[in-house]
Structure 1
Amino acid sequence: MSRALNFYENEITNYKDKLKILNNIINIISTIRLVIIILIISSAYYFYKKENILFLIGSVIIGFLLFIVVAVFHNKKIKERNESKLYISINGKGINRINGRFKEEEDKGEEFLNDKHPFTSDLDVFGRNSLFQMINSTKTKFGREKLRDILSLKEIPSKEKIINRQEAIKELGNKVKWRQELEVKSTFKKSGLRDISDLLEWAESQKEIKPIFKIVPYIFIFITMVSIILVAVRILPITYLILVFMINYLVVKTLTKDLSQVISLFNNHKKDIEAYTNLLDLIDKEDFKAELLKGLKLKLRSNNSSAIKEMKALKSLVDWLGDSSGNAYYLILNVTLLSDIFILRNLEEWRNLNGNKLKEWLEIMGEFEALSSISNLSFDFEDWCYPKIYDEDGLEGIEVAHPMLGDKAVSNNFNLNSKNGISRKVALITGSNMSGKSTFLRTIGVNLLLSYIGAPVCAKEFSCSIFSIYTCMRTKDNLEESISSFYAEILRIKILIEAAKNGEKVFFLLDEIFKGTNSRDRHEGAKVLINQLVDNGAMGLVSTHDLELCELEETRKWLKNYNFQEYYEDDKIKFDYTLREGKSKTQNAVHLMKLAGINFENK
């Protein structure tokens, strides 16, 4: 059993045992709460009958205080139970990743699907049965968007950046309990995926604090305190104090006329702020060794301010705002100490000091989430390797397999590099239907992507240089734009050619190109395209049924033929999905047509 599988199963067992204990405790406390309520009612009735008002009030107060203490403990245990359930779910997801059952996960990242992206649709990066579905453990909007940007190669990383990210992902891979806590803290508030653009807009629209907010409250508080003393010593009547409170209330409402909008804003995002504060607190308390992680954490403490300290201050202010909605004790504070004015002023001061930093803090938090998601691969698949990054153009893999196929994956050796004075640029892959050509193209593409994001790859050894990945594999009709599948393919090829011409280091994956036209044009077009791409410095793989295209190997030393084959057992087609050198010598199309009922004897 692998290290990761053993860890996940042990954690599930431990949390299930903890869950049983917590359920028993919660049931007992529920009974105790009920007993306390009965005792409060009984004692109140008893002392009422005895006409002992002092004892009646005392017993009710003591009973309610005891009830509050028990209720707080009860809620704490319920929270622990809910967190235990989340830990069981998270460890279950880890087992599903290892066993290839990640396809059961609901979050597929379908909102990130983009058919116009150079490779994400063809390589199953987002959507059903995708890389995102396999690794994602982000629970906030910022984490998801950062993971999307990383998986989409929004920025082509340098060799140094890849190595730094590898170091960070290795470290986070070993911090599995910390990563799980990060996920639990963001999940527990059920808040992270909501849009907070209105909160960020408030934070970034800074305003100067009016002098009236700094002076007026103290004047009225002084008048109120003096009035209370004068009323207490019976120099002034109590009606005067009531008048002072009414004036204070009008002053508060006048100076905080915009407070209702602020209260609405923060009540809507109270759980978001609490979740973000918890996540930043976890990051702040953790010790990191990797340069990338230390650098990110340092940004949360830059310019003599601490993100976690300021977020906790904001959370405290928001908690006060939450208490201001109609509570009697808060109304007393408001007419006595003008608390709403101070809260609004403190919020303005917080915004002026930190408003332009909030988005950056949350994006850094999101980057930790995204890196933690990628590091799931580091912990779960200890037999995978971290790739070496070439300075010269090339790609080489030993026992390379598709990372999302689990036990069904078949590994192959493959290389495109310079050996014996010959620089290989293109692999032409032939083979019969369903033999594994398209899957192999995706195998190379996904492992290249994993290499560039700093993740381990599904191989015994893997080395590559840095390219821009372009694919043309799943072109389809677009009825809304009146585009046929062939024209859609032409458009993708055009993007690929332009990228190569513009000096990008292109690695292309082309699957059955120009299949929407006649065999003569398909053959001629493919031959010219491959030559043109290589002339512009590109490298890549091309799968085809056009065996005549294999003749290019005789005149183009930079091209090498490979193939996949099938065999038959009991008149049934079988595949071994093993990559072989040379062009294909087998075909199965006629056999498949016969299985469909086409009678070739009557031709």
Structure 2
Amino acid sequence: MLFIKALEFYTENIEKAKKDIKELDKKISLIGWIRLLIVIGMVYFGYKFFKSNNVTLLVISEVIIICILASVVLYHTKLMNKKRKHNIFIDINKRGIDRVNGEFKNVVDNGSDFIDDTHAFSSDLDIFGKNSLFALINDTTTKGGRDRLSKELTLDSFKDIESLKEKSKGIKELSEKASWRQNLRVNGIYNFKNTKKEINEIEALKDFSKSEVKRNKLSKLIAYLMIAFNALSIIASITSIIPLTYLILVLIIDYGVVTALTKKKKEELVIFKDLKNTIKIYADAVSLIEEEEFKSSYINKIKDKLKTNSNISAKAEMKSLASLSEWVGDSTSNAFYLVLNILFFLDVFIIENLEAWKEKNGKHLEDWLSVVSEIDALSSISNLHFDNETWVFPEIVKEKVVVAKEVGHPLIGNRAVRNDYSLDNGKMVTLITGSNMSGKSTFLRTIGLNLVLSYIGAPVFAREFKCGRFNVSTCMRTKDNLEESISSFYAEILRIKLLIEKTEKGEDVFFLLDEIFKGTNSEDRHTGAKELIAQLMKGDARGIVSTHDFELCDLEKEDKKIENYNFREYYEDNKIKFDYKLRKGRSTTQNAIHLMKLAGIKF
């Protein structure tokens, strides 16, 4: 699959799906005419046999025609559902083309609800929100997968180097299964339905699986007895042993009994109505995962959670739960079901079957859900490898280094200017100077984002990328918090305090500091930055500091562990321009006065 370029793959899929839809439309149109003819036939034969007073033929013909019509309607529904899946498939491939072309700024789900200004780096590095890493990567279908992806991107689970290597192999294998991943997503979107109620589906399912099993054999026995009683009453009524009106009393009694038997569990049934689409999504996903063969030890380790000591089939059991949840959905929204429930006590048997399912599988359900969620998240991440042929998997080493060749900003894509950078051979801190808008902040995010991608097992936007295993910490976008009465400068101090605490705990930190202490005077800013850098180096941290304080560049002469890099501007026709190329050494240019002149300030 990797030999087919992503754009060609997505385009071919769209064209094929459009052709299939045209064929389906022809069949759907034909079925529409057939349905009309069947209805006309029903009316014709009904009128003909009614007029000839032939009741037997009237009943037989109408029953046959109704059966034919029902079959045609079912086939028509099947075709419509197939067409809907094809349209979903087209949308998925259009989304793929958008990703390849870097058009993801306006995606509906950009993970803005995960934004946390107190996190060590997520706000500064645009992990969530508009034009974010989440917006680029997210292709999840399940809520569990979406939550899992957010935790991946915030590096909640710290993995050792060997685990990361195995994870990368797993992500690479998933990227090669593009058609399988799209099938997983089509089924998920097809079954997805927004519920009006605010309900955490995953937590609700976990609560159900962990709740006490309460099977009631007496309720089941009463239900069987009442069904037998109903059958006898109907027979007696038909044979005129009892009046037909007596059945009304029987139905009233039935309603009272079924209500009494299911009263304590009715709330659970209502919840399951809201969960039925979620359960169907997870059931289909479990089937696809269980049936697929994987070579990666990392993926197989996840898949193994579907196995149990008692050889229970997760696929079969999840399908069973999905089937039960369908019945539950009908129980609260279908008038025909109400009649069947009164006559055959369906709610009693559904509740009993749910309890039996929970007794058998409750202890496994959380693992089964986590398998789907994790594969869902990893499948989204694997799009990066499939969509970007020039991206490479990083080399993660034990040494505290960051070395990159032709590294670019992952969210800028092909428009990004790519640079070489190294922090090795005993170097600990990079000082980046340069004029306004020359690319300093963007470069800090370039390194930060590629480190995050490295630590989730994803490929990075570089020709080569080698890094140690660091805790990423940033101080770039501090802002006022009026509710907490915190100024931007004090917010910056709090971020620095957390950074220092990490180094004091012995954590391997890689810091990204952009124009630190900009909220105070130049003398204090210089002194504070100089002392902070010294303290971070003492804590064995590594990192990059961007600054307009050219005097800080003198630190390179004082300590060989510090190295200067710079960005610069140039002018054409009295217009300021930038090449965004990173160069070694301190900056020798500045453009603030020129920008002020452009604003109309006269000097």
TM-score between the two structures when normalised by the length of structure 2: 0.93
2:238–2:244 CA contact under 8 A, matched in 1: no
Q: Deviations over 1:518-558 (max 9, x none)?
A: 11000000000001001001000000010100000011111
Matches within 5 A, 1:552-563: 552-563=555-566
Letter matched to residue 496 of structure 1: L
3-state DSSP class of the match of 2:392?
Answer: coil
Query: Quick check: 1:158 aligned with 2:164?
Result: no
CA, structure 1 residues 326+510, in 2 after alignment: closer, same or farther (shift >3 Å)?
Answer: closer
Q: Percent identity over the alignment?
A: 48
User: Are residues 524 and 266 of structure 1, via their aligned partners in 2, closer, same or farther at CA, if it must alter by over 3 Å?
Assistant: same
Shift in alpha-carbon separation, 1:336–1:13, aligned structure 2, 3 A: closer
Partner of 1:459: 462
> Which of 171, 178, 200 matches 1:169?
171
Q: Deviations over 1:415-469 (max 9, x none)?
A: 1112xxxx00011000111111111110100000000000000011111110000
CA contact (8 A) 1:139 1:192 kept: no
CA distance in 2, matches of 1:372, 1:101: 20
Query: Are the structure 2 counterparts of residues 506 and 212 from structure 1 closer, same or farther at C-alpha, using a change threshold of 3 Å?
Result: same
> Residues 28 and 159 from structure 1, CA distance in 2 versus in 1: closer, same or farther, beyond 3 angstroms?
same
Task: Find the partner of 2:41 among 28, 39, 42.
Answer: 39
Q: Is the counterpart of residue 189 in structure 1 residue 191 in structure 2? A: yes
Q: Provide Cα deviations, 1:330-373, integer angstroms capped at 9, x if missing partner.
A: 56765665443222211112123323433332222111110000
Paired with 2:452 and 2:459, the residues of 1 have a C-alpha distance of: 10
- 1:146-295 superposed matches below 5 A: 146-191=148-193, 195-196=200-201, 197-213=203-219, 215-217=221-223, 227=232, 250-295=256-301
AA partner of residue 416 (structure 1): L
Structure 2 CA distance for partners of 1:210 and 1:25, relative to 1, 3 Å: closer
- Aligned-pair distance for 1:139? 2.1
Alignment match, 1:91: 93
Mapped to 2, the partners of 1:324 and 1:332 lie a distance apart of 10
Tell me the equivalent position of 1:71: 73
Q: Does 1:505 align with 2:511?
A: no
- Matches of 2:332 and 2:544 in 1, distance apart? 64
Of 553, 562, 566, the match for 1:550: 553
CA distance in structure 2 between the partners assigned to 1:416 and 1:151 by the alignment: 24
CA distance in 1, matches of 2:470, 2:246: 77
Deviations for 1:301-336, whole angstroms, at most 9, x for unmatched residues? Answer: 223223222211112222333444587875676566
Given candidates 345, 348, 356, the residue that maps to 1:341 is 348
Q: Which runs of 5+ in 2 are unaligned?
A: none
Q: CA deviation at 1:80?
A: 1.6
Residues 6 and 235 of structure 1, relative CA distance in 2, 3 Å threshold: closer
Partner of 1:572: 575
For structure 1, which runs of at least 5 residues remain unmatched after alignment? none
Give the Cα separation in 2 of the matches to 1:475 and 1:395: 25
Inter-CA distance 535–36: structure 2 relative to 1 (3 Å threshold): same
Counterparts of 1:509-548 in structure 2 under 5 Å?
Answer: 509-548=512-551
CA distance in 2, matches of 1:337, 1:17: 47
Query: Which stretch of structure 1 is more off in the superposition, 568-577 or 441-450?
Result: 568-577
The total of aligned residue pairs comes to: 595
* Distance in 2, Cα, partners of 1:579 & 1:58: 86
Contact 1:206-1:355 within 8 A present in 2 as well: no
Q: Secondary structure of the residue that 1:540 maps to in structure 2? A: strand
CA distance in 1, matches of 2:520, 2:42: 86
| Aligned-CA RMSD value | 2.5
Q: Which SS does the other structure have where 1:462 is aligned?
A: strand
Alignment of 1:42-61 (within 5 A): 42-61=44-63
One-letter code of the match for 1:254? A
CA 1:142–1:455 in structure 2 vs 1: closer, same or farther (change >3 Å)?
Answer: same
1:9 to 11, 25, 43: 11
Q: Are 2:501 and 1:495 equivalent residues in the alignment?
A: no
- Return the letter of the residue paired with 1:209: R
Question: Given the alignment of the two structures, is residue 477 of structure 1 paired with residue 480 of structure 2, yes or no?
Answer: yes
Q: Deviations over 1:485-521 (max 9, x none)?
A: 1111111111111111111110000000001111100
User: Which residue does the alignment assign to 2:385?
Assistant: 378
- What letter corresponds to residue 396 of structure 2 in structure 1? I
Tell me if the contact between 1:387 and 1:451 (Cα under 8 Å) persists in the aligned partners.
Answer: yes
**Which residue identity does 1:185 align to in structure 2?**
N
Matched-pair contact (CA < 8 Å) for 1:189–1:275: yes
Shift of residue 167, structure 1, vs aligned partner: 0.8
DSSP-derived class of the 1:523 partner:
helix
Amino acid at match of 2:422: N
SS at match of 2:422: strand
Which residue identity does 2:164 align to in structure 1?
Answer: I
Measured after TM superposition, the shift of residue 398 of structure 1 is 0.9
CA drift at 1:74: 1.1
Deviation at 1:201, TM superposition (A): 2.7
The SS at the match of 1:118 is: coil
Q: Distance in 2 between matches of 1:412 and 1:211?
A: 72
Identify the residue that residue 411 of structure 1 maps to in structure 2.
418
Q: 1:431 pairs with 410, 430, 434, which one?
A: 434
Q: Is 2:556–2:563's contact at 8 Å kept on the other side of the alignment?
A: yes
Instruction: Answer whether contact 1:192 1:275 (CA < 8 A) is retained.
Output: no
Q: In structure 2, what is the Cα distance between the partners aligned to 1:248 and 1:480?
A: 59
Q: Which runs of 4+ in 1 moved over 6 A?
A: 222-225, 232-236, 238-241, 243-246, 326-329
Question: Does the CA contact (< 8 Å) of 1:141 and 1:192 recur in 2?
Answer: no
Secondary structure of 2:263's counterpart equals coil
Query: 3-state SS of the aligned residue for 1:491?
Result: helix
SS at match of 2:497: helix
Aligned partner of residue 269 in structure 1, secondary structure = helix
Structure 1 distance, partners of 2:376, 2:357, is 26
The separation in 1 between residues aligned to 2:240 and 2:74, in whole angstroms, is 45
Distance 1:229 1:131, change over 3 A: closer
1:246 Cα offset (Å): 6.6
Match of residue 396 from structure 2: 389
Which residue of structure 1 aligns with residue 372 of structure 2? 365
Q: Distance in 1 between matches of 2:381 and 2:235?
A: 68
8 Å Cα contact 1:169-1:374 kept in structure 2: yes
